[in-house]
Amino acid sequence: MKKIVLPVVLCLLMGAGAFAQKRLGNETGQQKKERMAWWTHDRFGMFIHWGLYALPARHEWVKNYERMTNEQYQKYFDLFNPDLYNPAEWAKMAKNAGMKYAVLTTKHHEGFCLFDSKYTDYKATNTPIGRDLVKEYVDAFRAAGLKIGFYYSLIDWHHPDYTIDRVHPQRAATDEEYDRLNHGRDMNVYRTYLKNQVRELMTNYGKIDILWLDYSFPGKHGKDHNDWDSEALLKMVRQLQPGIIINDRLDLKEYEDGWDFTTPEQFKVPEWPTWNGKKIPWETCQTFSGSWGYYRDEMSWKNTKQLLVLLIESVSKGGNLLLNVGPTARGTIDYRAQNALASIGKWMKYNNRSIYGCTQAPEGFKTPANSLLTYNPVTNRLYVHLLDYPLTNFTLPGYKGKVKYAQFLHDASEIAITAPHGYWLKMEQNKNDLNLRLPVLKPPVEIPVIELILN
């Protein structure tokens, strides 16, 4: 008897726990799914990190890493003049790469605003360029048919009322020093500033599709949802932009609707991320070379195959990829980033059917050797991405009876479903396996894709 009672009680408790999860609004799960449908479908976006840090060109955290004061950092503001800025060109590059949305840093941790905010003088309109660069981005990207995202840094290393914390350039060594440095700083004032600026961003630029707030770091000398008044901030944003999709860095994870998607950064998730036992929407953000802002001397650029794998692997686990560019202080996209985007675009032109609208393969489809699977539930097609091109025989483990037709995606050329060729294979192949006969020559595609039309 006891053996049965315990699991039942546990289930009830867990059910009650899930039921009792806090909420800020009253959107249903189905409504959330519909609100996020375009994003889940599109899978691939461009992150753009641009600010004063493009001038030192050695990481967007340079002010922090080198512990610069506002005065020392001022020279970048005085010289900021991206005379070649042409967001229509950026939009074109994003589009050609197959990206469907973009997220631009309207303000990064340094505190500098690319937009014309009425709550600060620390903005692009007061630099030599003298223009609202956010407005131009919105107009150009929207005109190109891309969805519009804003990144806004919760952290602010310039605002006089923002308290010094453990990730601040002027961070202290002792509690006493923190007290001394923060004397006279008032987070209440900063909170109002932050809210005012987010309201401007949510009001002055038309429909905004994504908001990326960055970031909370609870704990000693840290900042959490109380510092940002995250609950009120989120409510305001949802009210001003009802369709918007918001990331998960407001420190509101305890609310079921305190965030829309999770944001694994610069690493690969081992599997589809879950929260409270449920698979959740996710987007990994990744750089070409390590830093987010333009970094002239960085040499660790990922190659085309690595970048494509980031995208395909994300989709294979039900997620999105937000791939970053760090434009220069002239307003251009560095040649290495341009080349990378173009190579991705070359692949996407012929293979995007395995990305858009796709997700993790249904259970029951085992991943063949050296490959990644994606699946389109609407067309019922399965995509096998060949990471290491096989020699003629390719085994689909346990696929017998499940496949109607096989072809290469890039040229729609038929791939024969045949008995394996070669004596040993015949002996070893499992009765439920299916064998494809591939051409000896690897097609001229970085990662060839087999499209399987399923029964």
User: Are the CB atoms for 241 and 205 separated by under 8 Å?
Assistant: no
Min dist CB 250 to ligand GLC, Å, is 13
**CA–CA dist 336, 80 (Å, integer):** 22
Q: What x-and-dash track marks residues 292-311 binding ligand GLC by CB under 6 A?
A: x-------------------
User: Which residue number, 61 or 383, has a Cβ lying nearer to ligand GLC?
Assistant: 61
- Residues 204-223: x where in contact with ligand GLC by CB under 6 A, - otherwise, as a string: ----------xx--------
Residue 152 binding ligand GLC, by CB under 6 A:
no
The reply to whether 248 sits near ligand GLC by the rule CB under 6 A is no
Is residue 44 close enough to count as binding ligand GLC by CB under 6 A?
no
Q: What whole-number distance in Å separates Cα of residue 359 and Cα of residue 305?
A: 20
Q: Could you tell me the smallest distance in angstroms from the CB atom of residue 287 to ligand GLC?
A: 9
From residue 128, how far is each of 72, 85, 125 by CA, in Å? 18, 13, 8
According to the binding rule CB under 6 A, does residue 246 interact with ligand GLC? Answer: no
Q: What is the Cα–Cα distance from 388 to 448, expressed in whole angstroms?
A: 9
Beta carbon of residue 214, minimum distance to ligand GLC (angstroms, whole number): 5
Q: Applying CB under 6 A, does 231 fall inside the site for ligand GLC?
A: no
Q: Does 156 bind ligand GLC (CB under 6 A)?
A: no
19 or 267: CB nearest ligand GLC: 267
Q: Which of 27, 224, 265, 433 binds ligand GLC (CB under 6 A)?
A: 265
Residue 451 lies near ligand GLC (rule: CB under 6 A)? no
Write the single-letter amino acid at 444.
Answer: P
The answer to whether the beta carbons of residues 308 and 351 sit under 8 Å apart is no
How does 416-442 read in b/e, with b if 16+ C-beta sit within 10 Å? Answer: ebeebeeeeeeeebeeebbbbebeeee
Binding footprint of ligand GLC, residue count (CB under 6 A): 8
Q: Given candidates 60, 165, 200, 451, which one binds ligand GLC under the rule CB under 6 A?
A: 60
**Does residue 285 bind ligand GLC (CB under 6 A)?**
yes
- The arrangement of strands across the sheet holding 147-153 comes to 245-246, 210-214, 147-153, 101-107, 44-48, 320-325, 283-286
Return the residue matching tokens 């029964």: 455
Per the listing, tokens 């008897």 go with 1
Contact residues: ligand GLC, CB under 6 A? 49, 60-61, 214-215, 265, 285, 292
